Amino acid sequence: MITINVSSKKLIDQAVDCYAFRFEQDFSYTRFSTDLKDFERDIYPDLKVWLQKSDFTGKKYEMRVLPVIVNEKLIHGIFIGMGKRDTKKVIPIEQYRRALAHTVRKAIQHKCETIALQLPSASLFGVTTHYLAQQTALILNMTNYRFSEFLTAKEEKNKEIFAVTLCTDAKNKATVQKGVKEGECIAHAVNKARHWIDLPPSVLTPPHLADKAKDIAKKGGLKLTVFNEKQINDMGMGGLAGVSRGSDLECRLLIMEYQVKKKNAPTLVFVGKGITFDSGGLSLKPPAYMETMKEDMSGAAAVIATMEAVAQLKPKVNIIGITPLAENLPSGKATKPGDIIRFYNGKTAEVRNTDAEGRLVLADALSYAVKHYDPTIIIDLATLTGGCLYALGPYYSALMSQHDDLADTIERASENSGERVWRLPLDDDFKPSISCEIADMHNISDRKYGAQTVCATFFLQNFVDDIPWAHLDIAGTAFNVPGIPYFRSGATGSGVRLLVQLAMDWK
Ligand code: BES
Ligand code: ZN
Ligand code: ZN
C-alpha cells in the first residue's frame, strides 16, 4: 500500500526520487508555477528549452520524462498534459484522474519509489479542495493496485510506489488531509473488491468470501448474519439453493448491517450477485465465455467492500448489504432445464437455461430485503447479462429503474464518483418477455423481445414489491476494462465508488 504524506513545505524541498508536474494544454511558458520555477532553478536550468524543443504542449496525457543526476542521485521529472478545458471553462476531473494515473505508472516504470506532487488548484476543475484531495488519494491507490500474489519473480512482485508527498498551502492542509483519509478509505475498499474478484475461483469460494465479510464486520462493528445452505433451503430460498445444487460447496446468504443512531433514518439496501464461478451449469457455457467467470461475484464484492468503507466513513443513513453467494456448476445433482423452483416470496419460475442463474439468486436476496427490512430504496448490482456488454461496452454500467428520483440520484452519484452509468428503458412493453404457462415466469426472455439486459430486470421486479428500486448491470464494467490507466487487466471494483458516493450524499 502507498503512504500519502500531506506537506505544506515546498515541492522542491521534498526528498524524493521523482517530481511530477501537470500542465493544461497550451500552457504559457512565461507563467510557470512556483514549483516549476524551483525545479528549473535547483535541478534543471534548461527545463524550458528542453520542453519546448521536445514539442511539449500539454495535450491530453502527453508525457515527457527527464532523468537527471543530483548529488549523485538519480532523480526523475515527469511532465504530463491534462488537455483542454471544456465548455464550462474547467478541466474535466476525469482528465485529472487519468493524468495522475499515467504519472504513477510512468514513475513505477522508471523504478521511482517516492513521488512529490503539488495538489493543483481545485478551481481549475470546478470542484472543492476536499474533493480534489479525496480523488487524488483514491486514484493514486487505485493505480498502485496489482494482483501479484501468484507471481514468483521478485522484480515482478515489487513494482510499486511506496510513498507520495502531496504538497499544498498551509491553509488547506487540514482539508487536504481529511480528503486524503477519505480517498484512502474508498480506495482500500475498491482494491479489496478487486482482489477478491481477481482471486482464482477455487480459492474465492462462497464460504471463503463469507469469511472475508466476517473480518470486515468484526473490524467495522457491523452486524453480520450468515445463512448456510441448510438454513437457505429451510427458509424456502429455491433460487439460491437451486443454483448451488450442482456444486460440492455450500452456498451462503450474507446480511451486513450498518445502523445509525438516529431514529427514522432512511435505510438503503444494496444487493450484490455473488456467483463465485459461473460455468453456466448444465446449460454449459462455451469455453471462451467461461474464461473470466470468476468475475461473476463482482456485485457481491462491491457490496461487501462498500460496507467496509461505510463503517469507517459513517454516512447518516442505515445501510444493509445483502449478498447471495454460490457456485454455478453442472453435476448429477444440478438443477436441470425444465425444473420449476419456488422463491422466498412464494413465486415460482421455470428454469429454461441454467446459465441465467444470477436472477435466481438475486430473487431470493431481494425478497429477503423486502420481508425483513423497510427499505427506503433498494439497489442491486450484478454481472447479469452478456447483452449488457454488447449494448454499452466496458465503460458504462446499465442503470434500470422505473423510479425516476432514484435513477436521478444514482446518476448524480455516478457523476461525482466517476463511475459511469447509462440508463436503459425499463418499459412495461418488455414485461411479457418472461411470461410462462406453467410457472409464474421463466428465467430467460423470449428472443423476439431482444434487449436481454432489460428483460432480465423485469424478472427481478417480481421480488421488490413497490419499493423504489434500481438494477445496475455491471457485466461490462467489472472486469478487463481497457485504456483506463487507473485500472489494469482484471477486476475494476465496479460499483464501490458509486455506492459509497450515494451513501455519503444521501439526503
Ligand atoms: N454471468 C453471466 C453474464 C455475464 C456475461 C457477465 C459476460 C459478465 C460477462 C450470466 O449469468 C449469464 O450467463 N447470462 C446469460 C443469460 C442468458 C442465458 C439468458 C447471458 O447473458 O448470456
Ligand atoms: Zn450465467
Ligand atoms: Zn452469471
Q: Select from 502, 449, 490, 497 the least CA-distant residue to 135.
A: 497
Q: Whose CA is nearest to atom 14 of ligand 1?
A: 385
Alpha-carbon span 136 to 239, nearest angstrom? 42
Q: Which residue has the cell 480459492?
A: 203
Atom 5, ligand 1: which residue's CA is nearest?
A: 386
In the annotation, is 359 catalytic? yes
Dist. CA 296–CA 475, nearest whole Å: 8
Q: Mean of the per-residue pLDDT values for the chain?
A: 97
Distance CA 395, CA 393 (A): 6
Residues in the chain: 507
Using a cut of 0.95, tell me whether the model's pTM lies above it: yes
Pairing of strands 252-258, 318-328: antiparallel
Ligand 1 contacts (CB < 6 A) are 278, 296, 353, 355-358, 383-387, 389, 444, 452, 475
**Does the annotation mark 59 as catalytic?**
no
d(CA 344, CA 363): 8
> Measured from the CA of 358, which atom of ligand 1 is nearest?
11
| Residue among 285, 342, 352, 423 flagged as catalytic | 285
pLDDT, tens only, 256-312: 999 999 999 999 999 999 999 999 999 999 999 999 999 999 999 999 999 999 999
Q: Whose CA is nearest to atom 17 of ligand 1?
A: 356
Instruction: Tell me how far apart the alpha carbons of residues 390 and 392 are, in angstroms, rounded to a whole number.
Output: 6
Binned at pLDDT 50, 70 and 90, residue 88 comes out as very high
193-240 pLDDT, tens digit each: 999 999 999 999 999 999 999 999 999 999 999 999 999 999 999 999
Q: How far is CA 191 from the centre of its chain?
A: 8
152 CA → ligand 2 middle, Å: 33
CA atoms within 13 A on the CB side of 29: 11
Instruction: Write down the pLDDT at residue 379.
Output: 99
Q: How far is CA 487 from the centre of its chain?
A: 10
Given a cut of 70, is residue 468 above it in pLDDT? Answer: yes
Secondary structure letter of residue 52 according to DSSP: H
Residue 357 CA: which ligand 1 atom is closest?
A: 11
Tell me: the pLDDT tens digits for 40-70? Answer: 999 999 999 999 999 999 999 999 999 999 9
The CA distance from 147 to 49, in Å, is: 41
Distance CA 445, CA 449 (A): 7
Q: Residue 261: what are its φ and ψ, rounded to 5°?
A: -70, -35
Q: Residue written as cell 446459465?
A: 355
Query: How many CB atoms neighbour CB 374 within 10 A?
Result: 11
- Name the residue of 291, 354, 362, 384 whose CB sits within 8 Å of the most ligand 1 atoms, as the mutation to test its pocket: 384
pLDDT at 157: 66
What pLDDT, in 10s, does the model give residues 397-451? Answer: 999 999 999 999 999 999 999 999 999 999 999 999 999 999 999 999 999 999 9
What ligand 1 atom has the least distance to the C-alpha of 328? Answer: 11
Grid coordinates representing 146 are: 496489482
Inter-residue contact 262 to 345 (CB < 8 Å): no
- The x, y and z cell numbers of residue 292, run together, are 473470466
pLDDT at 362 over 90: yes
What separation in Å is there between the alpha carbon of 338 and the centre of ligand 1?
19
C-alpha dist (Å) from residue 257 to 30, 267, 358: 56, 10, 23
Residue 383 C-alpha to ligand 3 middle, in angstroms?
6
pLDDT at 162 over 90: no
Strand, helix or coil at 252?
Answer: strand
User: pLDDT exceeding 70 applies to what percent of the chain?
Assistant: 99
Q: In one letter, which amino acid is 40? A: E
Residue 301 and residue 272 in contact, taking contact as beta carbons nearer than 8 Å: yes
Report how far residue 385's alpha carbon sits from residue 457's, in angstroms, rounded to the nearest whole number. Answer: 10
Q: List the grid coordinates of 311.
A: 463503517
Atom of ligand 1 nearest to the CA of 275: 1
For residue 296, the CA-to-ligand 1 centroid distance in Å is 9
**Lowest mean per-residue pLDDT among 131-140, 143-152, 249-258:** 143-152
| Ligand 1 center–CA 356 separation, angstroms | 6
* C-alpha R_g of the chain: 24
Catalytic, out of 105, 245, 252, 359: 359
Please write down the long-range contacts of 119-126, taking CB distance under 8 Å and 24 or more positions apart: 119/166, 119/167, 119/168, 119/172, 119/176, 120/22, 120/96, 123/90, 124/24, 124/90, 124/91, 125/90, 125/91, 125/92, 125/93, 125/96, 126/88, 126/90
155: pLDDT confidence band, cut at 50, 70 and 90? confident
